[in-house]
Amino acid sequence: MSNESIQGRFAGKVAIVTGGVSGIGAKITERLVAEGASVVVADINAELIASAAETFGDRVWGRRTDVTDEADFCALVAETVERFGTLDTLFNVAGGSRAGTITDISFEDWDFTVRLNLYSAFNGTRLAARQFLAEGKAGSIVNIASLNSLVPMHFGVGYTASKAGAVMLTKQAALELGEHGIRVNAVSPGLVATPLTKSLTDIPGVQAAYDERIPLRRAAAPEEIAAAALFLASDDASYISGDNLVVDGAWQTTGYPDLRPFMS
């Protein structure tokens, strides 16, 4: 595929990217603009939203949005269509976690993590699908899950359970929406070098413990996850739906390191 055809894959398209101003989401936004799309970034960080809009101009519009709140997400979709006239694709990227084990995690931390990772994906998938159906179009949805949807890790009970739920939500939506031409896929990254993971990998010895388990011996760059996400959203993946694309440097072949010695 030529560079010119890649740059034009999303020409005239309108996309929403939740968590679209930092980490993986920011690189998805950047890549979409480069490939011709107009992008609505949804995040809780108003300062970063303003910065993204200033960087990209009229092609990017931002809205402070609580993606765990159905009414707020509904307003996001409605305002996107009001501003750009349509919606073609949604990237559910917003996510995070509060650490804990089954026996010691607080209900509040469990609820926060599940709502941020699973409720937000449900809100986005349902509301985008409703918009596609209202327009009679074959839209595309990409949910950013995690290798933890397949592989458990210590201190990650809320995160692993919610990301596994997001993958099954993806498959369920693909089953239900396929007859309308709507495609729904997930990307499950391994370790990615983002501001969210830096607080963990900066702990002495942690990055080395990860690198020892990852056959490619490094974390992914956010750009590498963005490339996979855009592929699934594009017409290049026109017959792919219900898939969970693992982008992990072959990490799932070895399993997670035991980080308990670093957390004591």
Residue 5: burial class (beta carbons within 10 Å; 0-12, 13-18, 19+):
exposed
CB 183 within 8 A of CB 237: yes
Residues facing residue 18 across a β-bridge: 42
The angle subtended at Cα 13 by Cα 12 and Cα 19, nearest 5°, is: 135
Place of tokens 């501003």: 83
Helix, strand, or coil (residue 89): strand
User: Residues 85, 131: contact at Cβ < 8 Å?
Assistant: no
119, 159, 210, 256: the active-site residue? 159
Half-sphere exposure of 257 (CA within 13 A, CB side): 19
Give 3-state DSSP helix, strand, coil % of the chain, rounded to 5.
Answer: 55, 15, 30
Would residue 119 show up in a list of annotated catalytic residues for this protein? no
How far is the C-alpha of 47 from the C-alpha of 208, rounded, in Å?
A: 34
Catalytic (active-site) positions: 159
